[in-house]
Structure 1
Amino acid sequence: MTDRYLPPKKIPTSLWDSPQTLLRLPTQLTTAYATEIEARNLLDAAINNEPDTGPTGGISPQETELHFATRFSGSCGRTALAALDPKSELRDASDRIIGALSGGKVSMLDIPCGTGAGAAALLTTIATLREQDCIPCHPLEVRLLGGDNSPHALQIANSLWTRITPALRTQAITLHHELMKWDVKDEASTVDLLSKWLNKGHDSRLHFILAANFSGFLGTSSNLKNAQSQLNHIFQWAGTRAAQTIWIEPQTNIADSFLSELYANAIKRVRRLFTTSSENPLKPHAKSECTQQHPLTKPKRFNVRLSLMMLDHKERTP
């Protein structure tokens, strides 16, 4: 791809070491994560367990904190990899993400937000690119709504997003965040979520949905069946707002099957949407992978594998 907003050769070494194909998380994010980990006495769990292992979620505080200690960094890595696309494997995903967060008022919905990895990684990556003069530093106001079914995860996300807010402000990014309990299988809960998101962003330049790491729950046919009507409802409202939707999953057979089924079901019912991350309608997602530096112990590295699907409004110019 030519004429990208962020050509791979311009990605700063603080985020990407090209010879080693090594991804590094933004300093603002690693600092906030380390502080949060230490405050919760989770440093041993975060360092001694293999990254991207452990529970994929959980309602109990114990499961949620172990998830935060072990899977947070991998979730951040997949989101940062999508935004940077250093190997040019994700078509125009990087351009769409950077363009969406280029300035003005943006209403962002992060579902399921979990402990806040996706939005935190996305915004701190943009902040680092601004700091390194890789992209323009226009004033950006982000109205961020996170929804998740775990009250303890919401508590951690709230704390983490609060910690990164001052660092974002130094790069002309103003973050207003709010979180709410959300059950993807419940109609009333989904209506409440969408109503709050749309009301918060009534005068926004752009609406943006970040969905990530849902295949662990929705990868089973029964859960997806029970949630599909609510997901279609979200897609329909996204279409009315010409919203951009980025869906990020780990690169697994379950996730790949889930994304294909999700897209096939949605496209039958939501005519305003089309996929931009793959030319193959049977596999409407793109893939990329790299090695990532552990945010808490630099010598430690692990693999990050990403499956990405982007949905966009049909009337928008690709």
Structure 2
Amino acid sequence: MTRFDPIPPSIWSEGILQIPPRVVCDYRCELDALGRYENASGQSPKNLIGGIDEQATHDHFTWRFGASCVRTEYLMLDPRGLLAPVSTDILKCFSEGRIAVLDIPCGTGPGILGFLGLVAELRVRGCLPKQPLEVVITAGDISESARQLYDSMLNKAKPWLKHEGVRVKWKTYSWDAGDEPSTAELVDNWFSESPNFEEHVVLTAAFSGEAANNFETFERSFNHVASRLYNKCGTIIWVEPKMNDANKLLSKLTNMFKSIFPKWFGIEPELEDKYKWQHPFREDQLNGSLVVLRHKRLEDHS
């Protein structure tokens, strides 16, 4: 049972997920500017992960942007209804009002653009009303080249999002996930850029490859972000591909929240699903998977 009957074929056709069309257009433009379109149209290398340097960033953008984008898109769309209540709550957050997003690590923007691109397409197709929506994003990543691509992709999206009633503002910051003072400064900026917002959402996507095997390095930063939400109406969403590293990371996170924040955050079971998605530049249909862990939003105790 889906929430949209029918789901627009521009995003879901014969059981195959499509990247939102205008995201594909912007992605193609960016690849052309980098001279990477032909690479993106070919076969993807295996075991590719992002990195700090420009080469690693551009490789990841070329061959992994689409997979990361459809993962958050699928979570919000939830065509088979297996990811509720997380999927329904995310869609509600991004339907109207004012939402402050902490996007960490932001990479080149596929996670947030999966959400925003889907919302815009659903509005275009009449599946969602065009209620005023203001999204303020504080984005952190250690890679300067990733932040530059993030800025470029969001700048391309801003006009068509505005046309659908979605006003988006963002700032990117250098963020070292293993350094608690860097995290404290990032959260300070997040709150100062979104005073009196109704919703605060932390989006952490595709971080398991690094975080699962170096959890102790990042644990203090994870603790810091969570503790700063003590008096906010906040939600923390972890979205990962269904892999061993993801299972390891989410298990460690669950144990951390149970031991440190049992009174602040509700602990929900992990949800998972598999799907097929259409490559944007060739006929191939690819396999995708996700596992999501949400630490439930808090009542505003202020």
**What TM-score results when the alignment is normalised by the length of structure 2?**
0.95
Encode CA deviations 1:102-126: one digit per residue, 9 max, x unaligned.
2122111111100110111111111
C-alpha distance in structure 1 between counterparts of 2:26 and 2:258, whole Å: 39
Name 1:282's counterpart in structure 2. Answer: none
Name which of 269, 278, 281 aligns with 1:296: 281
Name 2:115's counterpart in structure 1. Answer: 122
Equivalent positions of 1:152-191 (< 5 A) are 152-191=145-184
C-alpha displacement of 1:54: 4.9
Structure 2: which amino acid aligns with 1:241? K
Whether the aligned pair in 2 keeps the contact of 1:102 and 1:140 (CA below 8 Å) is yes
Whether the aligned pair in 1 keeps the contact of 2:234 and 2:298 (CA below 8 Å) is no
Structure 2: which amino acid aligns with 1:24? Q
Name 2:12's counterpart in structure 1. Answer: 16
Q: Secondary structure at the match of 1:9?
A: coil
Structure 2: which amino acid aligns with 1:305? S
C-alpha displacement of 1:135: 1.5
Q: Secondary structure at the match of 1:142?
A: strand
Encode CA deviations 1:147-186: one digit per residue, 9 max, x unaligned.
1111110111110011111110110001111100101110
C-alpha displacement of 1:9: 3.1
Equivalent positions of 1:39-78 (< 5 A) are 39-50=33-44, 53-78=46-71
Aligned: 1:201 with 2:194: yes
C-alpha distance in structure 1 between counterparts of 2:144 and 2:67, whole Å: 22
Q: 1:54 to 1:159 in 2, by over 3 A?
A: farther
C-alpha distance in structure 2 between counterparts of 1:314 and 1:152, whole Å: 35
C-alpha distance in structure 1 between counterparts of 2:11 and 2:297, whole Å: 31
| Unpaired segments ≥5 residues, structure 2 | none
Encode CA deviations 1:182-214: one digit per residue, 9 max, x unaligned.
011101100110000011111212111111011
Structure 2: which amino acid aligns with 1:102? S
Structure 1: which amino acid aligns with 2:184? V
**What TM-score results when the alignment is normalised by the length of structure 1?**
0.90
C-alpha distance in structure 2 between counterparts of 1:294 and 1:240, whole Å: 42
Number of residue equivalences: 299
Name which of 252, 261, 267 aligns with 1:275: 267
C-alpha displacement of 1:262: 1.1
Q: What percent identity do the matched residue pairs reach?
A: 31
Encode CA deviations 1:259-310: one digit per residue, 9 max, x unaligned.
111121122112311134x2xxxxxx1111111001222x122111111111
**Cα RMSD over matched residues?**
1.5
Q: 1:8 to 1:102 in 2, by over 3 A?
A: closer
Name which of 243, 254, 272 aligns with 1:287: 272
Runs of 4+ residues over 4 Å off in structure 1: none
Name 1:241's counterpart in structure 2. Answer: 232
Q: Secondary structure at the match of 1:313?
A: coil
C-alpha distance in structure 2 between counterparts of 1:314 and 1:206, whole Å: 10
Structure 2: which amino acid aligns with 1:115? T
